Amino acid sequence: MSTLETILLIMLVLDAIALGALVLLQQGKGADIGAAFGSGSANAVFGGAGSASFLAKLTTWLALGFFALSLGLAFTAKERAANLEDIGIPVVTAPVAPPEATTKSGQPAASEPQPQQDTTSPDAAPETRLTAPSEPVDSDIPDV
């Protein structure tokens, strides 16, 4: 993780904690609803419509900061993922066939003919290919 991502993540966590605390500290808009039923005096049924308090303004700015930090983290994560794609996918090589057996004189030994496998019997080994060679495969992995 880069330094920028670490700083953005720490700021996002602090912003989230502060935002949660500010929301819990504020009095709800419907807190004066009891005034409608005679439990107190209020300017209006749902509270005064005056200017927003300092806590409400601070909550708005912290919410905007939370969105900006989230977008910044998403952008850095996208850039890091794009950089990983530029590196490429590791290529797995096929296993190499074992070397031919040689005699003591260095001449290749005569190989015995391999018997044909009966593909109709249930004990026959399955094919190693999952699709026919002419059938396209829906994949983003490049052919090697």
Domain chopping of the chain, boundaries: 3-87
d(CA 124, CA 119): 5
What pLDDT, on the 0 to 100 scale, is given for residue 91? 63
Structure-token pair, residue 88: 């490429």
What pLDDT, on the 0 to 100 scale, is given for residue 15? 96
pTM: 0.48
Kindly tell me the burial class for residue 40, based on how many C-beta atoms sit within 10 Å of its own C-beta (0-12, 13-18, 19 or more). Answer: exposed
- 78-118 pLDDT, tens digit per residue, is 988 887 776 766 666 777 666 666 666 656 555 555 555 55
102 three-state secondary structure: strand
Cβ atoms of 109 and 102 closer than 8 Å: yes
What pLDDT, on the 0 to 100 scale, is given for residue 53? 86
Closest Cα to residue 5, out of 80, 87, 84? 80
